[in-house]
Amino acid sequence: MLLTRIKGPRDLDRLSQEELLQLAAEIRSFLVDAVSKTGGHLGPNLGVVELTIALHRVFDSPKDKVLFDTGHQSYVHKLLTGRQDFGNLRSKGGLSGYPSRAESDHDVIENSHASTVLGWADGLAKANEVLGREDHHVAAVIGDGALTGGMAWEALNNIAAAKDRPLVIVVNDNERSYGPTIGGLANHLATLRTTDGYERFLARGKDLLERTPVVGRPLYETLHGAKKGLKDFIAPQGMFEDLGLKYIGPINGHDVEALESALQRAKRFSGPVIVHCLTQKGRGYEPAEQDEADRFHGIGPIHPDTGLPVSTDAASWTSVFADEMVKLGKERKDIVAITAAMLQPVGLKRFADAYPDRIFDVGIAEQHAATSAAGLATGGAHPVFAVYATFLNRAFDQVLMDVALHKCGVTFVLDRAGVTGSDGASHNGMWDMSIMQVVPGLRLAAPRDAEQLRAQLREAVEVNDAPTVVRYSKGVVGPAVPAVGRIGGMDVLRTPAPEVTRPDVLIVSVGALAPMCLEIADLLDKQGISSTVVDPRWVKPVDEALAPLADAHRVVVTVEDNGRTGGVGSAVSQALRDAGVDVPLRDFGIPQRFLDHASRKEVMAEIGLTAPDIARQVTGLVAKLDGRYENEPAATVD
């Protein structure tokens, strides 16, 4: 096999065009076989095989910087840079599903949030200029979906201003992000890809005129010099050239020879160049090509021959939200939904099918989504913006200054909150509760089960004078966790034995960690330590009934799947101090560090967020209060 002989990019140089075609076929076969076992981003990588080969033949990585936005299409890049062990892809100790500096010098960007690559490329090109590295090049690959993000256009505005600073921008145009790309830019690219094209016209004209004696060559040069007007007439690509960017394309993104030719021309140019490549997401694998939803953008383990899932999961948090949104849409005509290019992943496809006039896909533009939601709310609608928890980080200013300051009734639904695991550091939803704690007037719910998700979503959309947040985990929703009582607005999940006059521990359980907190209580009970477990349901603001309840216990423990700094534990601690309640408090959560990819269970064990770990520390704390271990330090949290 040719693939096994590729140890680095320069091994590609000696391959013929026929061998490159064979290599592309081998890579596709490898990807289907490997990713069907582990799960991962299959469709995007099948679409960039030839493009990645061409990039590594034209550019000399790692001296030249080859950058990928958002990075989920870097599997082919990994294969061509000496990483062909995909057996533990996205698992603990295996390859990351995104570029990783720890894996290779060929990887530059680890952040897998979209639309950032052009900002990185602009900075790297400036560094080359400042340091006089004229033999260093920068090539940034950005999809048409990522180009819908505002950051991409902020970067383009700056890149275009430096007309003599070399930089190659490769637009990987497959008409999709997760689903089909939408918006004005998508329409413009569609025009470019469907027009018979300036480059083809000019090539034919050059061939004809150069065969014409005497006047042929001068006439061609005159036409070439007038190319701006000619291009606008034949293929309206002026949007890029009006910015000051040289445009090459559209190029067949599955023709290595044509790609190399275009990239070589772009590399030789002394300023910024856009190379527009047309690719097919899922190419070469029939189940992916026929998948209308997302072309197998991200998959779990599948049967490679059929593309069908190996196992069918039980109901997920996302599916519970999806069903409830459809019901709400039927009951209230003012309910509208917003997605940032993730209609299917966040569970809004059913709502879109039922109410197509009340769904707004804004592209990869979370900031715009939040401010547009403020406008919708001001206009009398109640918008529900569903987004991954980690991506709401990008819209903090808009949540604060546009939604909250104006007291707009907008509901933010945060999917994949807490530890998500296999997608690595940038996808763990571990910052949202800390960030949202500082927003005045905002109310934040963390449902513990499907029943509570449905109930708290309904409570959230009833609020029309402030932003609300409902956040939940990734994956399968667990069994119902019934309440045994209610104190204030909090659900009581467990009470101590009736004869206990002052229980030892109050456990404040946040969201989906309720089963873990009940397990902690069971373990403490075996040590003779009594406990009460409460679910605040709405963790911001802190329920007024919590302080007197805490005062009736010896120790307070908070357990959350959010970063410890500024999270629910911090808010509860502040509320107790404000109420004059002097009870020891221990907050258990995610340490403030970037967590390597692994399964959710493995990550939780690594950071000590498990029932046995927490129960052990709480036991030590209670023992110290009892004076049983006077010479031992108090329990701490990593």
Determine the number of helices (DSSP H) and then strands (DSSP E) in the chain: 25, 18
- DSSP per residue over 144-191, as a string? TTGGGSHHHHHHHHHHHH-TTS-EEEEEEE-SBSSSB--SHHHHHHHH
CB 35 within 8 A of CB 42: yes
The most distant pair of C-alpha atoms in the chain lies apart, rounded to whole Å, by 109
Token pair listed for 531: 């406990």
Between CA 328 and CA 310 the distance in angstroms is: 33
CB 387 within 8 A of CB 381: no
Per-residue pLDDT tens digits for 133-183: 999 999 999 998 888 888 999 999 999 999 999 999 999 998 754 455 545
Look up the pTM and report it.
0.84
Between CA 100 and CA 194 the distance in angstroms is: 36
Instruction: Say what the pLDDT of residue 201 is.
Output: 47
- CA-nearest of 98, 101, 84 to 40 is 98
Instruction: Say what the pLDDT of residue 254 is.
Output: 95
Residue numbers of the chain with a pLDDT score lower than 50:
177-178, 182, 186, 193-194, 196-198, 201-202, 219-220, 222-236, 629-638
SS3 for 67?
Answer: strand
b/e sequence 516-555, b meaning 16+ C-beta within 10 Å: bbbbbbebbeeeebbbbbbbbbbbbebbeebbebbbebbb
Positions marked active-site: 281, 366, 394
Token pair listed for 633: 């330090």
- DSSP per residue over 22-50, as a string? HHHHHHHHHHHHHHHHH-B-HHHHHTTHH
Strand 485-487: give its sheet, edge to edge. 485-487, 490-494, 531-535, 505-509, 555-563, 585-590
CB 490 within 8 A of CB 543: yes
Between CA 567 and CA 583 the distance in angstroms is: 19
The CA angle 213-219-225, to the nearest 5 degrees, is 150
